């Protein structure tokens, strides 16, 4: 029987969507992915429609170039085609924007993108990292911050299960002190 080996062709549509998008973003600014997709990339068998991405604040001119690059590579912004409007009406106001692949139905997945908004986001940006077990060439926020946000801020059943899942995966290396410090900061800045 012919042995099946994993390689580049092993990527599925979700891997390709996320990695293609991030390759463009990182030409213009730093980013990290957080929330549900972190758990899904770590084996949580549940569905999500969007991937949450936070990027550093960039000037309008840089955003315009980045947006045009995304459009050139077959992504479309659901809020507007006009980069100046997207920047002024959404990003700079602290709202998110969403990109999908150009297609008839504008199918999910969607990349939900927003600017860093406070020191919590900035710290996550500084500590962003890749996770070799996911086999994805993407930057994520730390496992500790994902657990802290899910347990302290989001708190739905789904989020609590995500946090428990991540706790099991990284049980030997989790820094509880760090989780508690992030939770304290969440209480101070977000609640």
Q: Cα–Cα distance between 145 and 149 in angstroms, integer?
A: 6
Cβ proximity to other proteins: between 27 and 135 the closer is 135
Cβ proximity to other proteins: between 27 and 107 the closer is 107
Which stretches of the chain are DSSP H helices?
13-25, 36-41, 60-72, 83-89, 119-126, 143-149, 157-169, 176-189
Structure tokens at 5: 């080996």
Cβ proximity to other proteins: between 61 and 189 the closer is 189
Label residue 135 left, alpha or beta by phi (over 0 means left) and psi (-120 to 50 means alpha). Answer: left
- Compute the least distance from the CB of residue 150 to other proteins, in Å: 12
Residues that bind other proteins (CB under 8 A): 6, 10, 12-15, 40-50, 78-79, 90, 95-98, 103-110, 112, 133-135, 153-154, 161, 164-165, 168-169, 171-172
- Compute the least distance from the CB of residue 18 to other proteins, in Å: 10
- Compute the least distance from the CB of residue 79 to other proteins, in Å: 7
Structure tokens at 101: 């692949």
């Amino acid at each position: 029987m012919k042995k099946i080996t994993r390689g580049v062709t092993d990527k599925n549509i979700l891997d390709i969507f996320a990695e293609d998008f991030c390759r463009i973003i990182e030409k213009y600014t730093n980013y990290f992915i957080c929330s549900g997709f972190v758990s899904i990339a770590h084996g949580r068998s549940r569905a999500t429609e969007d991937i949450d991405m936070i990027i550093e604040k960039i000037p309008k001119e840089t955003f315009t170039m980045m947006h045009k690059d995304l459009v050139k590579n077959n992504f479309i912004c659901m809020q507007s085609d006009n980069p100046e409007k997207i920047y002024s009406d959404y990003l700079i106001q602290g709202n998110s924007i969403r990109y999908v692949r150009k297609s008839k139905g504008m199918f999910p997945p969607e990349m939900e993108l927003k600017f860093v908004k406070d020191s919590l986001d900035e710290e996550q940006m500084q500590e962003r990292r890749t996770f070799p077990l996911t086999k994805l060439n993407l930057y994520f926020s730390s496992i500790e911050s994902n657990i802290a946000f899910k347990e302290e801020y989001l708190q739905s059943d789904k989020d609590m299960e995500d946090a428990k899942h991540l706790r099991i995966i990284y049980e030997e290396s989790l820094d509880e002190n760090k989780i508690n410090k992030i939770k304290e900061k969440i209480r101070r800045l977000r609640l």
